[in-house]
Structure formats: structure tokens, C-alpha cells
């Protein structure tokens, strides 16, 4: 099973199409300005400047983080997905220029990392734990594969292959090689992608090496000793100092998500990609165990993951505080990648459900409506004045920013969105799976013949999806994801109830003929959701959802002190279409008043508190903070009895 | 108005007496072992060793924190209060030995700080911001005053006076002097105490200098520049980097408690002491403003203060999370000192109420039953496994520790408790104020004559207090604090209802004669308390109190997952006397069960959750964690409707 390629799909206006267009039209150009240090506000990137300096074009010391190259590579990857749909000479000229700089910067033996080229190249590969060289190479590989596939131009691929050769000559189980692996995973999944293009067994073997060597030795401590450094530093407060890097035990022994969340999830994605490619059941079983831990015990309702600001890390099962959460945009994106890989390995609807959750909540909350400002941290509750005075939420920015000193998230959203069309449909033998819902025309080859379908929907604003089979063949099966949140739905083929089979989250429809029209209507009422009672931070609270979309209250609509709002389990919701927010939901709520409390009274015996009823206005969480700074809250106190 | 001196009071067995005896019999000896690095577990103190090395008795580099001397000085102060009640040759021998070491260590010009003596004395007074020299001197002054007053031995006082002379010659508004002030306040209050003993105007003037210079210049930045350091560091994340040190504005302009909580409160105590001594109304008004901010907007129900682990700091009004709280034991103690000073400046019952709250909750929670293990951080909610995996609560130790690398709290509790008798009664003209309730015999001189009273009580286990007037004089008034939590009480004199006046939290009784017996019964039912609705972390929750005592649930009595416990506003409480916990309270509660939730279900539409009724067992919060590690919780969800 694999995703239906972008070239087989033509997007038609719908919410998904708008997201792809926003990424192409707004994010790519504005990020190009950022990468070239031409934004009028925010920190500078220095990533283009570093590459120019490494190429000998200008004289400048390295600036920015050691992993700054990766922002550029992610941007190239994002742009390449756009080019795959539509070539663009001006955009390609920019990338070709960057590739020409890479060619000049690359050392004779293939090495290419601006940090070490511009500082001390003799120190390269001496600090895998902290210095992200292999992480940057991973992103270079992804960029190279994407650009080559989009344009057929192979210069960037050649540069990359030379660097991979060097890395393969440097690292491995063999005697004489360094027995290391990256402190920040990413290259593992990239090497599997590269293998898929090149079919060079070395590329797969190198991915397997990095995954299977991980956590089996004390490499990070050993290399630190060679550098004359102390082993570990702040992260040592974890029970084992290598836990932060997922390097405290072999990867197949992991049972609880741990350490830096993006690293954890890129590692899992790499493991799943390798298992997908090789059929390694032990790896896939570890991925499954970790999938369950993350999505059933350590994931916010928005799909956000990584509860702790310290270490940008996972904490423990059922520890899901709304305010002090980290929920890095990149972590949500990496969970989306992990889900996408799991899905192509096994057509289980829940993988698509989580992708849906992530797309419409915890990833898109990372960008503003305009596509030019970003959140790095995605809280489920924001009290702006706390972010000013309480260190527990200093990491929670109360407004999206134009750029970050560590700007991993912006180009990551870009590459996720420009590649969104390639996560909509999958095919396996004679079955076409519909994963994420979007208006499109698709024509693709299955084993028994080619099929052509048209899909029309305003999802997630509406749960109504219409498919038209333009061309089918005998034996063709259309499998429609039935989201886990659906309580009632209707399915008609040409107005009739069809015979169909529900299996692992999909409705499988066979016997389709050319011209058949399938009306698939997922009833999408507003619903209150609660969390497992082991989640100490959410007990007694409810969140409002509609379809895959999590809603929130904002101060601009509802006033402040939102922690005092109570919602009844029986509240009646009014849904109103809204040009800006898709669907706005209103509901009567109660608000505990401060009336009757003296300003000098902090604790007092229970009293009859006053409650004011008002109509609360809920908007989709992902769209919060598009109207200035203010309080925001997802989880509301639930009125009992 | 001033406190009735310890020498006028004889404690009789009661809870207060037990606390004083525990401090004398258990804490002082075990802390002596700790200060001499003879504990079998926990970090070493090095403070005696540092002093011996500074005295040239042994060869050792300085070890431990730069302020390690202060632990020794606080212990001397604590021991002195015990000696004031009863001389003890063995204890005095220890202190005299320490004083002889101080004499040897003191530099010819009076300087005495082991850190700089053992490192580079030329750098002394070059880092007031971080290096605590004046803080240590403050504690030396308090020790010297206490030891001199207890024993009449003046060697330590002479050592101290020489050091104070040097400091006075070094710092001040005058040209040629450094215009600095301590990064950690403490010396201000100590100098006022010293002045009270010596009547040397310089001592009062120096206190006034340190207080009035504070925040009026950029001294910390200037001295950093002279050292070649960058100004500020991590604390710079505060809106102004000197906010952490209360040095961002003149002290009389402060309106919101800020920065390091112990520093803030020692400063306020110093300001209040100076205002008490001089009648400075502007200073007293600033103290009053800050008192209100702290006790009505930034204080936990236990009296704990300092919400933030980062910076051990205050955050903002009504920000009172139970789990990530810092609530340093020293901060509660310093609030107790501030309250005590405010009280002698103005006989307002609420100052005593807060002292009561602090004594029976947020300070005593810092020690175990045995008096040999300590909490530095005092949470209102503990989930032990979170402290292992979530950085937000890494600072919350789940078990009391035998000692700390930064062991400011243990000797601070000791000096608070050994001096507890001197905070029980106050006198002003012909009025004797009863502040904290304890069994005692007191005989003291008022303006119109001497009085002798006997007080008998088991407070806070019982609200019944009996006074017997052994000797009075015409015009004598006895003022009994009527705690703010009291809803009903009875007061009888020789079985009759007396004429009396309620005024600012005191019941004033006049016309007493020798032999009169006053029965004062404060009804002490269990009561549920809620917090101001602006306190986002406690809304919808209640805490159980009885008298001044805050109660909690512990896992050992009630099982885990205490966040799932709901209590009804109308719950009936059963009070049971208990040898270990004074009074144990039981009440029927509901517990939301996890039954019906699949282990793989994290979010789901609202359902009928199951609740199990059981009888919860509440114990006084201060006594939690005396039976092993486990969950603990003060604030419980309130059952509505």
C-alpha cells in the first residue's frame, strides 16, 4: 500500500486546496525572505548567508544555530512539492542557485555542513549528540529527493549522494568506523526515502544501522570524553541522561514516549519507514506500542505532543496540563508524519483520524490566517499576563511571531502543507483508500486497471462528501475512512443504500461502475468531549468539538477570566457558517462571577457564588489569536448534575 | 508595642511547647551534626569546615554555596533562643568554639566571610548581586545579638561590630563609598535589631541606607561592568532584570510582590522593622500595600508563598497553582517574620491570623514529625511519578530530605521555633495582647504594673483556651485575638458573659481582678473553604480546614488518583482525636472511577461516569509525608448542585 502520488491528483477548491495554495502563495515567498534575512522584524535566519559563506562567495562567520542549514533544506523540500504540481522558473532559479552554492561549499570528500565548514572542519562528527550534522543531512536528503522528483534535475541529488557516501564510510557497525548515531534523529527516515528513489541497498542499510545501533552503547558519553567534555548536561535530570535522545535503550525496547518529542517522533517515523520497506515485524511492533502510548496517553486533544517546555519533551502518561504545555508545532507535524507512515503500513482508520486531528488543530494552530506568522508553542489555555510573570509559561508566546531564532517550525509547516495532496488517498492492489477529505480529481493506476474519481467536499466545515466514479473496473474497491468521532452518517450510491463492509475504520464499497455517485454524509453536530479520568489536568472539564475540529473560547468574543466559564453537558449548540472561521458555534454557558468577593478576600468559607448566563462564542482552536492578544481556553469546567 | 520577652514566659506542655522542645531536643543536635558534615546521608554542609579553614586551623578550599556561613549563624541564633530559656554548658561550648574560630578568621579590618577569605579576598564586595556577603553578615548580626542576649558573652558581638564598622565604611550615600546594597536582603532587619541592642545610631542609619538606596541606581550592572561580567543573566527574562532582586524601583514604590520571595520578604521585614523603630510612615505604607498584595493575592491557603520554581519567585496576583508551586519553607518563615513585625507595629488581628496559618501549615510542613528531615519546597498537590518525569515538578521532592546542598530552610525553621515563645504575647501600655495560643505562665511588667497570667490550651487541636489572671492591676486590659476564621465562640469570665470590646481582630477585656478565670472557646468545626474566583487554579475546588489548620488527603489513607475525588458542599464531617495527627477528619466523598474507560481511549464524548462513594480520611497538611511516598492533595473538586 502506498499513497497516491501528487501527479495523479488535481486539487479543486476546498479547504485542503486553500491550505496548499496558502503554503505555495504566502508561506514559500515570505519564508524565502526570512531565510535571506530580509524580514523587517523578528530574528534573522542566516541560513542562506551561511551557505554563501561556506561556498566562499562572501566572508562571514557562521551565525544562528548549528542546525540552521536544515531550515533551508526544508524550504527546498516544501518548494519542490509545489514544483511537482506546477513548474515555476523563478522558484527553480532560487533553488538552483542554492544548489550551486552547495556544490561550491561541499568539501572534496563530500562533507557539507556550514557550521563545521565555517568554524573548524576538523571537529566534524565529534559531537553527534548536540550538533545535528546528521539531522541536517537528513533534511538535505529529503530536499534532494523531492527536488529531483519534481524537476528531474539531479545536481542536488549528486551533492547529497556524495555526502551520504562519506557518512556511510564514517559510521557503521564495522571495525574502524564510528559506532555513532545522531543526537537528533531524522536521517533514518530520509535514508529510506532515498533508498526508495535510488534502490541502493547501502542507503537502506545505513538507515537500519542508525536505528539498530541506537541505545546499544555509550556513544554519546564516549565521544564527549574524546572531546574532553563532561557527559550529559541539563538533560541529566532525566532518570537516565540519554533518555532525552531516546538513546538509553535499544529502540525495540521502548514502551513510553520519552525525551525530546520531535526526535522521538522522527525516530519512530524512521523505524516505521524501515519496517514498511523491509517488513521487519519487531520494529513495527515497537512502533505500534509507541503509537498507542503517544496517541492514547500523551497526546493533547488538539494532537499537540511534548508536554514539557524543558527539553521540549514528553513527560509521562496522562500528564496533559493545558497551560504549561509545550506542544511544539514541529512535534505535531512529526506525529502527522509518523501517522502517515503507519497508515501506509496498515490501513487502520485511526491513523487517518489522528492525521485529521493534527491537520485541523495542533499543526495549523502554528500559523496565522495569513501564513506569515508562527507559533512554536501551542497551548490549550492562554492567560497573557501569566506569560509575562510566571516562568512556568514564559515559553508560551501570546502572539504568533514573524520568525524564530530556532525556526524549525515555519518550513516544517510549509513542507507538510505543500505535500498535503499526497496524503489524501492511498492505493493497495485494487482498493483506493480515501484518507483525508478534499475536493479533487484523481486518476490512478491500480493492479486491475486505472480508476478516475472526483471528490467534492467542504470538509471540515461540512461532513458532506460526494464522490463520482468517472472510471472504474471490475474488482475495484473504494474504501472510505469513517472517522472515529462519527456517531451517525449516511452513505448512498446513486441515492440507494449500498452493500458495504466496515473494516478497521473504513467502509469498503465494491461493485462500482462508471458514473456512480456516492453521497457520504458524516453528521457533524457540536459535541462535548471529556478526557480519560487518569488525565489529572482535565478531569471535570469538557472540550467542544465538531467533526475533527477542536473549538476554543477567546477573550475577544467572551470576555476574560475564562476559567470561570461552566458549560452544561446538555448545552444546546447553535452552528453558524462564518466566512472567517468556517463554522462558529454558540452555546449558553454560565460564568462564575467575582461579585460578592471583596478584593481583600482570598480564602473564605463556601458561599453561594453568583453565576451569569451568557451565550459563548466558540471558534476553531487552530484560528485563535488572529484578532490580537487575549485569553484563550479549550477545556471548560463542566456543570454537574 | 512589643512582644513579651521569652524570659517573662514559661511554656507549659501544649502543642507550642512540643514544637519548641522538638526544635531544642531534636533539631539543634541533628543540625549540629549536619553542619559538621557528620550525617550519614544527604549533601554535606561544609560550613563548619569552611570556618575552620578560614581560621587557619585546617587546610581546605571553600566548599558549598557562597552563603554557606549563614547556615551556621542561623543555627547559633536558634541555639541562643534555647539558651535564653535554659543555659547549657555543652551547647555554649560548641558556640564559643565557633566564635573563637570567627575571631581567628576575621581579617584585621573586620572582614569575615569564609568564601572570600578562602578564595580571593581582593574580590570581596565586588559582587553584591550574587554573592550574599551582606546577607551572611545579617545572619551573623542576628546570631550575635541573640547569643549576647542569652548569655551576656560579648565576643561574637565584638567580632560582628568590627565587621559592621567595615561595611559602614564601605557602603553609603557619601562620596567615596560604594553605593551598593545586597542582592539578597537580610542585613536591613538585622541592623535594626543590632541598633535596638547597641543604640548606636550608625547601625540604624546603615539599615536606612541599604533600604533607601535600593533600586535608585544601576549598582548591580555597574559592579558587573567593573568585574567585566555581562549584566544580569537568566533572571533577565523578568520584565526588568533587577526585578528579581527588588532593585528595579525604590522600595517605597513597590506595589506587587516580585522576584525571589525570601528576598522580597526579608526586605519587607527590614522595612517594617525600620518603620517600627523610626515611625517612617511612607515605609510603613509601602509595607502595608505589599502585605495586602502578598496575603490577599499571592499566598497559598497554607501560607506558602513564591509560586515559581524559577527564581524561587513570586509570579502575579491570583496565580496559585497547587502542583508547580515552589512555596519554599524559608519563604513561609520570612512571611511569618514580616507578619510578626507588622503586628508589633499595629495590633491588627489579621497579622496574627497569618502567623497562625503559617505556623500550623506552610512552615511546619517543612519538617517531619521527628524534626530531622526537611522539605525545601511545599506543594499543595503531589503526584510522585510526575516529579520523576515532568520538569514542571522536578523541584517538588516527594520525600523530605535529611539535608540540602542549599540548606537555608532547616536552621531557619529551628530559629523560628526556638523563638516561638517570644511571638505569643505582646504588650502596649496597659494592654497585654494574646497572639498565638499556647499553654504558659507569663509574668510581665506593663506601664501600670505587673501582671501574671496562666494560659491553658491544646490549640490548635482544640479551640478551648482558659486564662487565669494571677495578678492584675486597675486599668489592665487583656486583648484576645479573635481569629478571622471563627464563626462562633463563647467568652466567659468566671462563668459570666463579660462586657468587652471587639476592635481590629481583638476582644479587649478590662476590669480583671486577681483570680479571674476566662474561658475562651473558639468553635472549631471542620469547614470547606474556597478561593477567590480570580484564582484560576482553584476555581471549582474546595479545601478542608479546621481552625487555622489546613487538611489534606494522602494516598496511604485514600488510594491514589486523588484528582478524581469530589466533595459535596454539604458533606458531614466526623472529627476524631488522634494521637499522631491531633484531629483526623473523615467525610463521605465521591471518586470518579476509571471503570468504563478503555485503556486505549483518551478522549470521548461525555458519558455517565461512575462515581464510588467512600469515607475519606483527612489529616493536617503539615503532617503529610510522614508515612512514606504517595499522592497528596489539598484542593478537591467540589460537587455542584
How far apart CA A257 and CA B500 sit, in angstroms, is 67
| Residue % of chain A over a pLDDT of 70 | 98
Chain A within 8 Å of B529 (Cβ-Cβ)?
Answer: yes
Q: What is the pLDDT confidence band of residue A62, given thresholds at 50, 70 and 90?
A: very high
Q: Count how many pairs of residues, chain A against chain B, have C-beta atoms within 8 Å.
A: 182
Residues A611 and B77: their CA atoms lie apart, in Å, by: 53
Grid cell of A27 as nine digits: 508561506
pLDDT(B319) > 90: yes
Measured CA to CA in angstroms, residue A385 lies from A373, A560, B138 at distances of: 21, 11, 35
CA–CA gap between residue B492 and residue B495 (Å, rounded): 5
Q: Give the per-residue pLDDT at B239.
A: 47
Q: CA-to-CA distance for B472 and B456, rounded, in angstroms?
A: 18
B412 has pLDDT over 70? yes
Q: Per residue in B540-553, pLDDT tens?
A: 999 999 999 999 99
Is A101 a residue whose pLDDT tops 90? Answer: yes
pLDDT (tens digit, 9 = 90+) per residue, A409-445? Answer: 999 999 999 999 999 999 999 999 999 999 999 999 9
Q: How confident is the model at residue A236 (pLDDT cuts 50, 70, 90)?
A: very low
Rounded CA separation A70/A66 (Å): 9
Cβ of residue B527 closer than 8 Å to a chain A Cβ: yes
For residue B529, what is its C-alpha cell? 473553604
Put simply, the chain B residues between 216 and 255 with a CB less than 8 A from any chain A CB are 237, 239
The answer to whether the CB atoms of B602 and A531 lie below 8 A apart is yes
Cis bond before residue B460 (omega within 30° of 0): yes
User: What is the predicted pLDDT for the residue at A233?
Assistant: 53
- pLDDT computed for residue B238 by the predictor: 52
- pLDDT at residue A393 tops 50: yes
Confidence of residue A598 (pLDDT cuts 50, 70, 90): confident
Q: Do A534 and B315 touch (CB under 8 A)?
A: no
Residue B174: active-site member: no
Helix axes B281-297, B329-345, angle to 10 degrees: 130
Do B480 and B502 contact (CB within 8 A), yes or no?
Answer: no
Confidence of residue A232 (pLDDT cuts 50, 70, 90): low
B392 vs B102 pLDDT, higher one = B102
Q: Which residue of B602, B611, B641 to mutate against A (max A Cβ within 10 Å)? A: B602
Q: Answer whether residue B233 shows pLDDT above 60.
A: no
A253-270 pLDDT per residue, tens? 999 999 999 999 999 999
Q: What are residue B509's phi and psi, to 5 degrees?
A: -115, 125
Mean pLDDT of B588-611: 91
pLDDT at A520 over 90: yes
Burial of B617 (0-12, 13-18, 19+ CB in 10 A): buried
| pLDDT recorded at residue B240 | 60
- How would residue A239 be classed by pLDDT, with cut points 50, 70 and 90? very low
* Average pLDDT value for chain B: 96
Length of chain B as a residue count: 641
CA A605 to chain centre: 47
Render pLDDT for B445-470 as a digit per residue (tens, 0 to 9). Answer: 999 999 999 999 999 999 999 999 99
Q: With a threshold of 0.90, does the pTM exceed it?
A: yes
Mean pLDDT value of segment A293-299: 97
Residue B505 pLDDT > 90, yes or no?
Answer: yes
Whether the predicted pLDDT of A306 surpasses 60: yes
Could you please report the per-residue DSSP string of B484-519? TT-S-EEEEETTBPPP-EEETTEEEEE---TT-EEE
Query: Does the pLDDT value for residue A605 go beyond 90?
Result: yes
Segment B631-639 mean pLDDT: 97
Distance from CA of A639 to the nearest CA of B (A): 7
Burial class (CB in 10 A: 0-12, 13-18, 19+), B230: exposed
| pLDDT exceeds cutoff 50 at A280 | yes
- Say yes or no for a CB contact (<8 Å) between A315 and B389: yes
DSSP symbol at B640: P
Residue B328 and residue B261 in contact, taking contact as beta carbons nearer than 8 Å: yes
Distance CA A578, CA B146 (A): 73
Average pLDDT (A277-306) is: 98
Which segment of A223-237, A308-322, B199-213 scores lowest on mean pLDDT?
A223-237
pLDDT in tens, A71-100: 999 999 999 999 999 999 999 999 999 999
Count of CB atoms situated within 10 Å of the CB of A256: 16
Question: Does residue A398 sit at the B interface (CB-CB below 8 Å)?
Answer: no
Chain B partners within 8 Å of A308 (Cβ): 390-392
Q: Which residues pair with A528 in a beta bridge?
A: A544
pLDDT at position B500, please? 81
pLDDT per position as a tens digit, A172-197: 999 999 999 999 999 999 999 999 99
Cβ contact B602–A299 (<8 Å): yes
Alpha-carbon distance of A84 to A7, in angstroms, equals 7
Pairing mode of beta strands B565-567, B582-592: antiparallel
pLDDT (tens digit, 9 = 90+) per residue, B377-389? 999 999 999 998 9
Nearest by Cα to A138 from A166, A111, A160, A108: A160
pLDDT of A132 reads 94
DSSP designation for A313: B
Q: Residue B529: closest CA among chain A residues belongs to which residue?
A: A605
Q: Tell me: the pLDDT tens digits for A351-378?
A: 999 999 999 999 999 999 999 999 999 9
Residues of A in contact with B297 (CB under 8 A): 602
Give the strand order in the sheet containing B501-503: B2-3, B425-428, B431-434, B477-481, B506-510, B501-503
Q: In terms of residues, how long is chain A?
A: 641
Which residues in B lie closer than 8 A to residue A631 (C-beta atoms)?
A: none
Tell me the mean pLDDT in the region A507-535: 97
Residue A407, number of CB atoms within 10 A of its CB: 27
Q: Is A199 left (phi over 0), alpha (psi -120 to 50) or beta?
A: left
A150-172 average pLDDT score: 98
Mean pLDDT of A450-474: 97
Is A234 a residue whose pLDDT tops 50?
no
- Rg (Cα) of chain A, in Å, rounded? 25
Q: What percent of chain B has pLDDT over 90?
A: 93
- Kindly list the catalytic residues of A: 312, 408
Predicted ipTM beyond 0.85: yes
**CA of B237, closest CA in chain A: separation in Å?**
8
- State the average pLDDT for chain A: 96
Residue B526, beta-bridge partner list: B546
- Count the alpha carbons within 13 Å of B551 in the hemisphere toward its beta carbon: 28
Is the pLDDT assigned to residue B237 strictly greater than 70?
no
**Does residue B408 carry a catalytic annotation?**
yes
Amino acid at each position: 500500500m502506498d499513497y497516491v502520488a501528487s501527479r495523479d491528483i488535481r486539487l479543486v477548491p476546498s479547504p485542503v486546496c486553500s491550505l496548499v495554495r496558502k503554503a505555495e502563495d504566502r508561506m514559500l515567498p515570505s519564508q524565502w525572505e526570512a531565510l535571506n534575512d530580509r524580514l523587517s522584524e523578528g530574528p534573522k535566519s542566516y541560513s542562506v548567508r551561511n551557505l554563501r559563506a561556506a561556498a566562499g562567495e562572501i566572508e562571514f562567520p557562521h551565525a544562528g544555530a548549528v542546525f540552521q542549514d536544515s531550515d533551508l533544506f526544508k524550504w527546498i523540500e516544501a518548494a519542490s512539492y509545489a514544483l511537482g504540481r506546477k513548474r515555476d522558473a523563478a522558484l527553480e532559479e532560487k533553488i538552483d542557485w542554492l544548489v550551486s552554492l552547495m556544490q561550491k561549499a561541499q568539501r572534496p570528500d563530500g562533507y557539507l555542513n556550514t557550521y563545521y565548514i565555517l568554524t573548524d572542519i576538523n571537529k566534524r562528527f565529534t559531537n553527534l549528540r548536540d550538533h545535528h550534522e546528521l539531522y541536517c543531512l537528513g533534511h538535505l536528503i529529503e530536499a534532494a529527493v523531492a527536488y529531483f522528483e519534481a524537476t528531474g534535475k539531479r545536481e542536488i541529488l549528486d551533492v547529497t549522494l556524495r555526502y551520504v557516501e562519506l557518512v556511510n564510510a564514517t559510521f557503521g557497525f564495522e571495525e574502524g568506523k564510528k559506532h555513532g548515531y545522531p543526537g537528533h534523529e531524522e536521517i533514518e527516515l530520509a535514508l529510506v526515502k532515498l533508498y526508495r528513489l535510488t534502490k541502493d541497498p547501502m542507503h537502506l542499510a545505513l538507515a537500519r544501522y542508525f536505528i539498530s545501533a541506537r541505545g546499544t552503547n555509550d556513544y554519546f558519553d564516549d565521544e564527549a570524553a574524546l572531546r574532553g567534555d563532561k557527559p550529559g548536561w541539563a538533560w541529566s535530570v532525566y532518570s537516565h541522561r540519554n533518555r532525552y535522545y531516546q538513546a538509553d535503550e535499544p529502540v525495540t525496547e521502548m514502551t513510553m514516549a520519552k525525551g525530546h518529542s520531535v526526535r522521538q517522533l522522527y525516530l519512530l517515523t524512521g523505524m516505521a519507514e524501515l519496517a514498511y520497506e523491509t517488513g521487519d515485524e519487531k520494529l513495527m511492533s515497537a512502533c505500534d506500542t509507541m503509537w498507542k502510548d503517544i496517541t492514547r496517553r500523551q497526546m493533547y486533544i488538539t494532537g499537540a505532543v511534548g508536554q514539557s517546555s524543558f527539553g521540549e519533551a514528553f513527560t509521562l502518561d496522562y500528564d496533559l496540563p493545558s497551560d504549561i504545555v509545550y506542544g511544539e508545532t514541529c512535534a505535531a507535524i512529526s506525529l502527522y508524519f509518523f501517522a502517515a507512515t503507519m497508515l501506509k503500513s496498515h490501513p487502520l482508520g485511526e491513523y487517518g483520524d489522528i492525521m485529521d486531528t493534527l491537520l485541523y488543530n495542533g499543526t495549523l494552530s502554528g500559523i496565522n490566517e495569513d501564513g506569515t506568522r508562527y507559533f512554536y508553542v501551542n497551548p490549550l489555555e492562554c492567560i497573557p499576563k501569566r506569560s509575562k510573570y510566571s516562568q512556568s509559561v514564559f515559553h508560551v508566546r501570546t502572539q504568533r511571531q514573524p520568525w524564530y531564532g530556532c525556526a524549525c517550525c515555519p518550513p516544517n509547516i510549509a513542507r507538510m502543507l505543500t505535500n498535503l495532496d499526497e496524503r489524501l488517498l492511498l492505493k493497495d492492489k485494487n482498493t483506493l483508500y480515501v484518507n483525508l477529505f478534499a475536493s479533487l480529481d484523481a486518476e490512478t493506476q491500480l493492479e486491475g486497471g486505472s480508476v478516475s474519481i472526483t471528490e467534492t467536499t467542504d470538509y471540515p466545515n461540512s461532513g458532506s462528501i460526494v464522490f463520482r466514479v468517472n472510471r472504474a473496473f471490475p474488482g475495484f474497491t473504494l474504501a472510505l475512512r469513517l472517522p472515529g468521532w462519527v456517531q451517525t452518517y449516511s452513505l448512498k450510491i446513486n441515492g440507494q443504500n449500498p452493500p458495504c463492509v466496515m473494516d478497521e475504520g473504513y467502509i469498503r464499497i465494491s461493485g462500482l461502475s462508471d458514473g456512480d455517485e456516492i453521497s457520504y454524509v458524516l453528521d457533524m453536530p457540536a459535541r462535548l468531549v471529556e478526557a480519560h479520568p487518569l488525565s489529572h489536568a482535565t478531569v471535570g472539564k469538557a472540550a467542544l468539538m465538531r467533526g475533527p475540529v477542536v473549538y476554543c473560547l477567546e477573550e475577544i468574543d467572551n470576555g476574560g477570566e475564562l476559567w470561570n466559564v461552566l458549560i452544561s453537558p446538555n448545552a444546546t449548540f447553535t452552528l453558524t457558517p462564518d466566512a472567517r472561521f468556517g463554522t462558529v458555534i454558540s452555546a449558553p454557558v454560565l460564568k462564575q462571577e467575582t461579585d460578592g468577593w471583596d478584593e481583600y478576600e482570598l480564602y473564605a468559607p463556601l458561599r453561594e457564588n453568583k453565576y451569569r448566563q451568557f451565550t459563548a462564542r466558540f471558534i476553531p482552536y487552530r484560528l485563535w489569536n488572529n484578532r490580537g492578544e487575549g485569553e484563550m481556553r479549550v477545556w471548560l469546567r463542566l456543570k454537574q448534575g
